[in-house]
């Protein structure tokens, strides 16, 4: 079925393969996949979509079946030698474009490299961070100075090849954009592009209704608060024997956990005292359930304690998005819960830890500089003040988020139209060339 291109050109239906689905222990990572799918479905409704998933579980499969039944799902893996299965051979032959979904790095580089090796069709990156500073820590302002000071080649050879040959590279933070330009990546379409999470707004209210009922939460009259440690304890999540680096990270967490979490604690106290409304402490990552129960539960003053609840389990993205939609606000030490809230137009604050990556700069790029607080000395006072300000004028805070969301969606629309227009024009040109070659 033909569709209208961005310049009025009638294009045939284009088949897009989205490589995404990095892990399921983080609802932020889960949100990347449906977010990018939603951008293409909403702004190019005639597009055929296939999700090539790296690592998903039954809950994600149920989400896709419920909200994206028209999207084909492929879970085949590329061989260690770069070989592909017959299923992937058929997919590569039929599809027109490969899109690497939003993520913390070129997570799907193996899949992207296989597409590049086995086809001559375009591919690109849709909202990625490439952080050259890890494992350094510091504020985003200091990170920008360091990125500008990089004089040598810091890209791995495969990353450089894939980025150089891409048809488009949309960076989910402008610090990544600055870094890649400084590394000589000369892709014409190298721009800021919002994380796909900002458009994931499709879940039913019923998905989160039991949570509201369980804790007696009234719509628009409660806060969601999300804790985090400076380093994720993956050895505990994935069940492998801890290595030296894991013990170092545990020691680092121990040194900062109480001071970092106290910023969230003081924000919650400020919220309850300002509004008289409750707060629900919820996880973005699975390990945060234990953090909330052992380090936050029971630590609030008497006038606040009865209004603070802890969700004692990990939850699905659909539950979280539905609950955030009915919340008055979200305050999070994780980067993506505020983006899930942004998709719903709900006010949010992001408490950024110094060990988090440069991805946090996306809040400045999204016009939400007042929504990010760096966890440096004095952060607790700033967070209390910012929370009280947000709580005292929720309509104004919501208006800011809605404006940001509208701008982000418009950016995504332009990007979808650009990549499909470029792909359609290339396909037409190749078709004309093939017809010419067949002419007598």
> What is the predicted pLDDT for the residue at 424?
85
pLDDT in tens, 45-97: 999 999 999 999 999 999 999 999 999 999 999 999 999 999 999 999 999 99
Q: Which residue has the tokens 């309850």?
A: 272
What predicted TM-score, i.e. pTM, was given to this entire model?
0.94
Domains of the chain: 3-199+408-425 (3.40.50.2000), 205-392 (3.40.50.2000)
Q: Give me the phi and psi of 373, to 5 degrees please.
A: -125, 120
> What is the predicted pLDDT for the residue at 1?
43
> What is the predicted pLDDT for the residue at 440?
44
Report the 3 state secondary structure along the chain: CCEECCCCCEECCCEEEEEECCCCCEHHHHHHHHHHHHHHHHHCCCCEEEEEECCCCHHHHHHHHHHCCCCEEECCCCCCCCCCCHHHHHHHHHCCEEEECCECCCCCHHHHHHHHHHCCCCEEEEEECCCCCCCCCCCHHHHHHHHHHCCCCCCCHHHHHHHHHCCEEEECCHHHHHHHHHCCCCCCCEEECCCHHHHCCCCCHHHCHHHHHHHCCCCCCCEEEECCCCCCCHHHHHCCCCCHHHHHHHHHHHHHHHHHHHHHHHHHHHHHHHHCCCEEECCCECCHHHHHHHHHCCCCCHHHHCCEEECCCCCCHHHHHHHHHHCCEEEECCCCHHHHHHHCCCCEEEEECCCCCHHHHHHHHCCCHHHEEECCCCHHHHHHHHHHHHHHCHHHHHHHHHHHHHHHHHHHHHHHHHHHHHHHHHHHHHHHHHHHHHCC
In angstroms, what CA-CA distances link 25 with 19, 32, 68, 288?
18, 13, 21, 10
Distance of CA 406 to the CA centre of its chain: 17
The ranges of the chain with pLDDT < 70 are: 1-12, 429-440
In angstroms, what CA-CA distances link 313 with 106, 264, 288, 291, 385?
31, 19, 9, 11, 30
CA distance 281 to 141: 29
pLDDT in tens, 100-134: 999 999 999 999 999 999 999 999 999 999 999 98
> What is the predicted pLDDT for the residue at 355?
96
CA distance 357 to 377: 19
CA distance 259 to 166: 43
Residue 345 burial by Cβ neighbours in a 10 Å radius (0-12, 13-18, 19+): middle
> What is the predicted pLDDT for the residue at 126?
97
């Amino acid at each position: 079925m033909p569709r209208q291109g961005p310049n009025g050109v009638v294009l045939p239906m284009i088949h897009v393969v989205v490589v995404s689905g990095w892990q399921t222990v983080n609802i932020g990572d889960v949100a990347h996949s449906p977010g990018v799918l939603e951008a293409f479905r909403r702004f190019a409704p005639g597009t055929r979509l296939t999700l090539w998933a790296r690592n998903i579980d039954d809950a994600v499969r149920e989400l896709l079946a419920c909200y994206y039944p028209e999207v084909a799902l492929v879970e085949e893996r590329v061989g260690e030698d770069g070989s592909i299965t017959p299923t992937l051979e058929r997919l590569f032959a039929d599809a027109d474009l490969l899109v690497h979904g939003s993520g913390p790095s070129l997570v799907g580089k193996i899949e992207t490299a296989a597409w590049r090796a086995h086809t001559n069709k375009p591919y690109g990156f849709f909202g990625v961070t490439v952080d050259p500073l890890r494992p350094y820590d510091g504020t985003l302002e200091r990170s920008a100075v360091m990125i500008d000071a990089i004089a040598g080649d810091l890209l791995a050879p495969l990353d450089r090849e894939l980025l150089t040959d891409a048809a488009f590279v949309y960076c989910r933070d402008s610090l990544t954009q600055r870094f890649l330009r400084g590394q000589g990546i000369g892709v014409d379409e190298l721009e800021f592009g919002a994380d796909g999470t900002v458009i994931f707004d499709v879940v039913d209210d019923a998905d989160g209704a039991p949570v509201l009922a369980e804790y007696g939460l009234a719509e628009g009259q409660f806060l969601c608060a999300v804790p985090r440690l400076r380093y994720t304890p993956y050895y505990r999540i994935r069940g492998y024997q801890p290595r030296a680096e894991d013990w170092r990270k545990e020691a680092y967490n121990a040194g900062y956990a109480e001071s970092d979490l106290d910023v969230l604690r003081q924000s919650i106290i400020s919220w309850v005292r300002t509004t008289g409304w409750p707060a629900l402490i919820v996880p973005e990552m699975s390990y945060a359930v234990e953090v909330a129960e052992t380090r936050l539960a029971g630590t609030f003053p008497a006038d606040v304690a009865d209004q603070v609840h802890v969700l004692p389990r990990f939850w699905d993205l659909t539950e979280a998005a539905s609950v955030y939609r009915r919340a008055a606000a979200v305050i999070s030490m994780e980067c993506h819960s505020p983006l899930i809230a942004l998709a719903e137009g709900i006010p949010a604050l992001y408490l950024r830890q110094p060990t988090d990556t440069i991805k946090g700069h996306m809040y400045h790029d999204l016009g939400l500089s007042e929504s990010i607080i760096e966890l440096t000395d004095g952060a607790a006072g700033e967070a209390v003040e910012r929370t009280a300000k947000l709580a005292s004028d929720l309509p104004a805070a919501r208006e800011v988020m809605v404006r940001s969301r509208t701008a982000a969606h418009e950016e995504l629309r332009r990007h979808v139209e650009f990549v499909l227009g470029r792909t359609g024009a290339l396909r037409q040109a190749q078709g004309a060339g093939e017809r010419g070659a067949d002419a007598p």
